[in-house]
């Protein structure tokens, strides 16, 4: 189903999704076992890698054309475009494919939390 391209707020970025990952939370939501279920209509997906298409007026860390990955979005990643807060988006080096980037978030931050927090 086609929908409009999402708008960004001042601290958000619009990402053109090149690859979407499958986060365990996505599976729990689909099965109805997650503690907080989304409002409908709902576009699933939280993890992705892609290219910045638009930046909010207060975003200084990214520019249009930057390769990025994220694991926390405002809109779902199982779409052509998604919106994420700029503080939950990270640069994706050119040596890492979009497919690999879409799978980085969950294991990276799980390890980070285990070691640092």
Sheet strand arrangement including 48-55 = 81-85, 12-20, 48-55, 67-70, 89-91
What residues have CB less than 8 Å from 50, skipping those under 6 apart? 15, 16, 17, 18, 19, 67, 68, 82, 98
Residue with the bigger pLDDT between 3 and 55: it is 55
pTM (2 d.p.): 0.91
**Alpha carbon distance 62, 27 (integer Å):** 30
**Contact indicator for 96, 63 with CB cutoff of 8 Å:** no
Summarised one tens digit per residue, pLDDT across range 36-85 is: 888 888 899 999 999 999 999 999 999 999 999 999 999 999 999 999 99
Mean pLDDT of 29-34: 91
CA 87 to chain centre: 11
**Quick one: 12-116 is in which CATH superfamily?**
Medium-chain alcohol dehydrogenases, catalytic domain (3.90.180.10)
């Amino acid at each position: 189903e086609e929908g409009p391209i999402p708008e960004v707020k001042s601290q958000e970025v619009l990402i053109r999704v090149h690859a979407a990952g499958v986060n365990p939370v996505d599976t729990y939501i689909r099965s109805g076992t997650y503690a907080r279920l989304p409002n409908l209509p709902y576009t699933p997906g939280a993890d992705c890698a892609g290219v910045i298409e638009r930046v909010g007026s207060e975003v200084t860390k990214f520019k249009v054309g930057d390769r990025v990955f994220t694991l926390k979005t405002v809109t779902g990643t199982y779409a052509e475009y998604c919106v994420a807060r700029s503080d939950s988006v990270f640069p994706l080096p050119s040596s890492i494919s979009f497919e690999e980037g879409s799978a980085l978030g969950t294991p990276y931050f799980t390890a980070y939390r285990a070691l640092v927090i």
